Amino acid sequence: MIYSIAITILTFFIMEFISWATHKYIMHGFLWYLHKDHHQVDKNKVMQKNDYFFLIFAIPSMILIFLGFEKLNELFFIGLGIAFYGLAYFIVHEIIIHQRIKIFKRIDNKYIRGIRMAHKVHHKNLKKENGRSFGMLIVNKKYFK
């Protein structure tokens, strides 16, 4: 039981670094054409091409959960950790930061202000190159000042 919880939590934290690398090298790299509309937003569109990245992370998570479900082995708990990270990312990025779904009033605490500031700095750059602050849940401490 503890082992399974540890795998899930470790996977969740590792996903922050995978997400950072994916954002920096893939979204701002060869898949910029999908991510571009997240930096150059058309307010008339409800969905963005960038929203397809949900599938890029959800599909491996679902496959791992499916493969590990019968025996509740490591694959299941790795898939669960990825899914939990996806849920946290959705809540933080889509609901708290961008408020694409308005279910919370604006949350105001030091941590939320810091990740909002880091994200704002990231979005100042409208181009593929020279981006900064690619993390979501872990950002440079300078944004908390």
Please give the DSSP secondary-structure letter assigned to residue 90: I
> Six-digit token pair at 33?
């054409």
For residue 86, the model assigns a pLDDT of 95
For residue 135, the model assigns a pLDDT of 86
For residue 16, the model assigns a pLDDT of 96
CA distance 12 to 93: 16
Q: What is the pTM of this model?
A: 0.89
Q: In what helix (H) or strand (E) does residue 134 lie, and over which residues does it extend?
A: none
Provide DSSP, 75-123. Answer: HHHHHHHHHHHHHHHIIIIIIIIS-SS--S----SHHHHHHHHHHHHHH
90-111 pLDDT, tens digit each = 999 888 888 878 787 777 889 9
For residue 10, the model assigns a pLDDT of 98
Query: Which stretches of the chain score pLDDT less than 70?
Result: none
> Six-digit token pair at 15?
């996903």
